[in-house]
């Protein structure tokens, strides 16, 4: 579970360990119990190892915006884009551009 930063209007900023699925929900301030909103901070990300930062950003993005990537196969468009060139099959296809 990662740490998230929150801002209480009365007491100021604080950090809280939370599940990613709960990160966007308001958090009760540990001092006054007032509802506090999550704030984004970048100082830690700036000093973080670049590989860890990329993994963290990908984790955050995938938690809120799942993305499907297709690789290979006819659905990717690689097979559909042909210029009529036969490579390595022993056949000759004329060029029709």
b (16+ CB within 10 A) / e for 64-87: eeeeeeeeeeeeeeeeeeeeeeee
**SS3 of 22, please?**
helix
The pLDDT, as a whole number, for residue 73 is 57
Token representation of residue 94: 């004329």
The pLDDT, as a whole number, for residue 23 is 80
pTM for the full model?
A: 0.41
Please, are residues 45 and 75 in contact by the beta-carbon 8 Å criterion?
no
Question: What parts of the chain have a pLDDT lower than 50?
Answer: 64, 76, 78, 80
The pLDDT, as a whole number, for residue 48 is 59
Please, are residues 10 and 34 in contact by the beta-carbon 8 Å criterion?
yes
Q: Which residues fall within 8 angstroms of residue 28, CB to CB, at 6 or more apart? A: 34, 35, 36
């Amino acid at each position: 579970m990662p740490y998230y930063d929150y801002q209480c209007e009365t007491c100021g900023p604080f950090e809280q360990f939370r599940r990613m699925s709960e990160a966007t929900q308001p958090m009760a301030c540990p001092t006054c119990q007032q509802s506090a909103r999550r704030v984004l901070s970048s100082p830690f990300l700036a000093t973080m190892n670049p590989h860890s930062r990329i993994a963290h950003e990908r984790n955050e993005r995938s938690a809120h915006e799942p993305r499907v990537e297709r690789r290979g196969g006819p659905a990717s468009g690689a097979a559909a884009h042909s210029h009529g060139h036969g490579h390595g099959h022993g056949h000759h296809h004329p060029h029709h551009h």
